[in-house]
Amino acid sequence: MESSGLTLKFPKCSFAVPEINVFGHIVSSRGIHSDKKKIESVVNAPAPKTTAEVRSFLGLVNYCSRYIKDYSTTTYPLRQLLKEKTKFHWGEEQQSSFVKLKDAITRAPIIAHYSISAPTRVVVDALPWAVGAVLLQQQSDCTYRPIAFGSRSLTETEMKYSQIEKEALAIVFGCEHFHLYLYGKSFEMETDHRPLEYIFKPKSTGKPPPARVERCYLDYRNTISP
């Protein structure tokens, strides 16, 4: 640390403890999970009654988004209320999204620590308005645990893509989102859309894949499994 020019403030240090709180995230030998106080603040939050309250709630939930699978999909009905010139209306879709978010946070798994040598898998999926990906690694008991979750909303143009194009976009998103974990490493890409095998194996069709998909195929050492 001295050679790197770093200094520590002793009162802020913790030694020989089973876990520590790092900016609202609990880090231990088991992995990483959200602080109980953060979870309680989300669970106890009342249903928003104004656009400003929706924005405030989403800001609160976003702090825990790294632990929530398909976060962009789940928050979609709420985020629609933030669009310019959109009249506030709290309907069944918004209430369902609100409840699902609270449930997802209380059930969120402990994120495992990344290992550079462990077998790695990326599971991707695409929905009409979002794409999502989960980075998994095999543990000592041969089970796979999540290392990280990622998702994003589709643009208006991307929403018009065919389903196979959306699924291909999900693969590209997964590779780019987890680039620091995947680049230069062999890993398995899992998708539930079998036709994608042929897009990523152009020799079988004689047709080159879309440029962005081709770059993804060339940049990463992955195998596609349906």
pLDDT category, 184, cuts 50, 70, 90? confident
3-state DSSP assignment of residue 219: helix
* Half-sphere exposure in the Cβ direction for 192 (13 Å, CA): 8
Look at residue 149 and tell me if it is in a domain.
yes
Band (115; pLDDT cuts 50, 70, 90)? very high
Nearest to 121 by CA among 187, 172, 216, 193: 187
The reply to whether 7 falls in a domain is no
Please tell me whether residues 29 and 99 are part of one structural domain. Answer: yes
Cα-Cα-Cα-Cα torsion 187, 189, 194, 199, nearest 10 degrees, comes to: -80
The CATH number for 204's domain is 3.10.20.370
The range of the structural domain enclosing residue 54 comes to 19-107
Overall number of domains in the chain: 2
Residues 6+ apart with CB under 8 A from 94: 77, 78, 81
For the beta carbon of residue 63, count every other beta carbon within 10 angstroms: 17
The alpha carbon of residue 156 and the mean position of all alpha carbons in its chain are separated, in whole angstroms, by 21
Same-domain check for residues 102 and 155: no
Per-residue pLDDT band for 207 (boundaries 50, 70, 90) equals: low
The position carrying tokens 């898998």 is 121
Q: Which of 64, 84, 107 is the last residue of a domain?
A: 107
Residue labelled with tokens 């709290």: 90
For 189-204, what is the mean pLDDT? 67
Quick check: 219 pLDDT over 90?
no
Q: Is the pLDDT of residue 225 over 70?
A: no
8 A C-beta contact, residue 150 and residue 178: yes
Cβ-contact 185, 135 below 8 angstroms: no
| DSSP string computed for 153-166 | EPPTTGGGS-HHHH
Say if 159 falls within a structural domain.
Answer: yes
pLDDT of 9-53, one tens digit each? 888 888 889 999 988 899 999 999 999 999 999 999 999 999 999
Return mean pLDDT, the chain: 88
95 and 135: one domain? no
Is residue 86 domain-shared with residue 142, that is, in the same domain? no
Average pLDDT over residues 72-82: 94
Mean pLDDT along residues 79-104: 95
